[in-house]
Amino acid sequence: MRYLAQVHKNEFLEKYQLRLLARQEADNLWEIIPEEAVILLGEENTMSEKLLVFVELSATGEIERLKEATNW
């Protein structure tokens, strides 16, 4: 499933995380995620704070693809 997310730095863990903002339901239909949902990124992922990204998650919640959403 495809999500729109924003990169944040978790100061306590000193790692970056993704805050999921919306979920793509159809080609032109996005649903806002009302509750706070975050995914921790691995050590190798250092991204800019507040960057908007598209993230595709597997059925088990693993990140399959991650790309910047700035050109969207």
| 9-20 pLDDT, tens digit each | 888 888 889 999
- What integer is the mean pLDDT of 22-39? 93
Separation of alpha carbons 60 and 46, rounded Å: 23
Strand partners, 39: 18
- What integer is the mean pLDDT of 30-34? 94
Beta strands 38-40 and 29-32: pairing type? unpaired
| Confidence category of residue 72, pLDDT binned at 50, 70, 90 | low
pLDDT for 19? 95
pLDDT at residue 41 is higher than 80:
yes
Q: How many domains does the chain contain in total?
A: 1
- Domain of residue 6 covers 2-68
